[in-house]
Amino acid sequence: MADLSKDILTLREKKAVIEKGGGEAAIEKQVAMGKLTARDRIHSILDKNSFQEYDMFMKHDGRDFGMDKKEFPADGVVTGTGTVGGAPVCIYAQDFTVAGGSLGLQHARKITKVMDLALKMKCPVIGINDSGGARIQEGVSALAGYGEIFYRNTLASGVIPQLSLILGPCAGGAVYSPALTDFVFVVEKISNMFITGPNVIKTVLGEDISMEELGGARVHAEVTGNAHFYALNEKECFEQVKRLLKFISWNNQEKPKAVKAVAPKMKNIDEIVPADPKQPYDVRDIIKCLVDDSDFLEVQELWAANIVIGFGRMDGETVGFVANQPMVLAGVLDCDSADKAARFIRYCDSFNIPIVTLEDMPGYLPGVDQEHAGVIRHGAKVLYAYSEATVPKITVILRKAYGGGYIAMNSRHLGADFMFAWPGAEIAVMGPEGAANIIFRKEIMDAENKEAMRQEKVREYIEKFANPYVAASKGFIDTVIEPKETRSNLLHALKLSVLKDEFRPAKKHGLPPF
C-alpha cells in the first residue's frame, strides 16, 4: 500500500510539471496578450471536467543542434478527448509557451493520433493553432509532420466536422491544415495567418505591410474568406464554437440533433421586401422570420456579404440557408460569393442538412476584373454544388430571378425538390429594360417617340414576363405563395423530404471546377 501511494504521488508530480507547460514567465507573457493557455482553452470549450488528456508524457526525438538535451513538456501540444453538450469530441491545442508551439514530428504525431481517433469514433475534431511554425532543428521530420496532418484533414473531410481555431500565429505550411478544415475561427489582435510574412514580402517585392494588415483576423474574415467566424476576444470565439456545434451533425451518417421547436420571434415577413425591385433590404430579416426563435447563425458574415449563408432551425431541425443579399453589391453572384455558397452547399450535403435557398438576384457581376478572375470557373461551382447535392433542396424566389442567376440558385433544373415563388417574383431571362431593348428593337427604332415606345415596351415586357406565372405555367415553379405562408410551406416541404432518397452515378469522385 505504501509503495502504491508513492507511485501515485510520483505520477501526480510528473503531471504537475508537464501541466506547467513552458513555465510561469512564458504563461504570464501568453496571458498578457489576451491569450489563455492551451489547457485553459480546451477547458473553456469542453463540458466541465470532461477533458481527458492523452500522450502528455510523449517526448520529441530531435537529436541535432543540442535538441537531445532539451525537454519540451507534452512536446508543445495538448491532445485529448472530452464532451460538448454531452457528446464526444476530439481536441488538440498547441502550447505556445513550450518552444513557441513549434511543430516537430512527435508533436505532429500526437495531433494525427487524436485525428485518427476522431475519424474512427465518428466525432468532430477541434484544433487550436498557436505555433511559431516548424521546429527547424528537426528539419524534414517537421515537414513530414505537417504532411501527415494534411493527409488526415483530407481523409476526414466530409466524414466528421473539423474546426480550426487560430489563436496565435499560424504561418507558412501550418496554414494548410486550417485551410483544409470546415470552419476556421479567428480572433482580433490574436490570430495571424499567412504563407510568407511581411518581412519576406518587403525584401522580395518591396511591398510594405504590417502583420495585421497582411493576415490579421479581420483580413481573413473580410477579404480572403479563409475565416468563417470572427470574434473580438477568445471568450467570444469559444462561444461561437459551442454555438456552431449545436447546429451541426456529429458525422456524415447522422443528422444534427433536433431541439424543441420554437416559433420565430420576428413575424413581419410581408413588410420586408420593398415592392420596387430596385430598393434594397436585408435578406437576413427574411431568414429571421422563417427560423425557430429567429435564431440564425451566420457563417462568413463579413466576406462576400452579397450572399448570406448559415444555419437556422425549422421545427427543431437544422437547415442550411443560402440567400442573395440585395443590400450588398445588389446581391450579385461573383467569384467570391460563388465560392462561398458552393462550399457551404457541399458542407450541408455532406452532413445531411437540408438546404433552403432564398433568391433575389439580378445576375452575375459584369466587369473585366471578374471575367479575368475566372468568374466562369468560380460561378460554375454553384451549379455543380447544387446539382450534386442530394439532401432536400427547397427554393423560394422572393423577387428577382434573372438569367444565369435563376438557373444557378437551386432551380428546378438543377434538381430542386420544391420551388416556391412570391407573387412579386420576376423570373425572366434578363431584366425588363435589357430584354425590351432587344426584343422590341425594331418597334423602338421605328417609333416617332423612341423613349415613350421604349417605356411602353418595358411595361409590356414586365406584364408579360416579369412575374412568376410564366415559370409556374411550365411547372418550373410548384406554386406561388404569399410571404406569410412561407414558413408553413417550408415546414411541410421539409417534413415530406425526411426520407428523401436520391442517387447519383457511381464514381470515384466528381471534378468540381476548383
Residues in contact with other proteins by CB under 8 A are 196, 200, 203-205, 207, 209, 213, 277-280, 326-327, 329-332, 362-363, 365-367, 369, 400, 431
- Is 465:434 a contact under the CB 8 Å cutoff? no
Instruction: Report the residue number, 365 or 425, with the smaller CB distance to other proteins.
Output: 365
Spatial separation of the C-alpha atoms in residues 114 and 88, rounded to whole Å: 12
Q: Please, what is the minimum distance in Å from the beta carbon of residue 333 to other proteins?
A: 11
Spatial separation of the C-alpha atoms in residues 228 and 178, rounded to whole Å: 11
Query: What are 168's three cell numbers?
Result: 496565435
Q: Please, what is the minimum distance in Å from the beta carbon of residue 303 to other proteins?
A: 14
Q: Please, what is the minimum distance in Å from the beta carbon of residue 305 to other proteins?
A: 11
Q: Please, what is the minimum distance in Å from the beta carbon of residue 362 to other proteins?
A: 5
Instruction: Report the residue number, 155 or 205, with the smaller CB distance to other proteins.
Output: 205
Q: Please, what is the minimum distance in Å from the beta carbon of residue 511 to other proteins?
A: 24
**CA dist 430 → 244, 331, 434, 437, 462 (Å):** 38, 15, 7, 11, 11
Instruction: Report the residue number, 8 or 232, with the smaller CB distance to other proteins.
Output: 232
Q: How many CB atoms lie within 10 A of CB 106?
A: 22
Instruction: Report the residue number, 282 or 443, with the smaller CB distance to other proteins.
Output: 282
The residues that bridge with 89 in the sheet, in sequence order, are 82
Instruction: Report the residue number, 214 or 491, with the smaller CB distance to other proteins.
Output: 214
Amino acid (1-letter code) at residue 137? Q
- Is 160:119 a contact under the CB 8 Å cutoff? yes
Q: Please, what is the minimum distance in Å from the beta carbon of residue 327 to other proteins?
A: 8
Residue with cell 502504491: 4
Spatial separation of the C-alpha atoms in residues 180 and 174, rounded to whole Å: 11
Q: Of all helices (H) and strands (E), which one includes residue 93?
A: strand 87-94
Instruction: Report the residue number, 3 or 207, with the smaller CB distance to other proteins.
Output: 207
Q: Please, what is the minimum distance in Å from the beta carbon of residue 307 to other proteins?
A: 14
Q: Please, what is the minimum distance in Å from the beta carbon of residue 460 to other proteins?
A: 18
Query: What are 423's three cell numbers?
Result: 407573387
- Is 108:79 a contact under the CB 8 Å cutoff? no
Instruction: Report the residue number, 333 or 353, with the smaller CB distance to other proteins.
Output: 333
Find, among 457, 461, 438, 439, the residue nearest to 449 by Cα.
Answer: 457
Instruction: Report the residue number, 219 or 297, with the smaller CB distance to other proteins.
Output: 219
Find, among 188, 217, 187, 215, the residue nearest to 199 by Cα.
Answer: 215
Spatial separation of the C-alpha atoms in residues 479 and 496, rounded to whole Å: 16
Spatial separation of the C-alpha atoms in residues 299 and 166, rounded to whole Å: 16
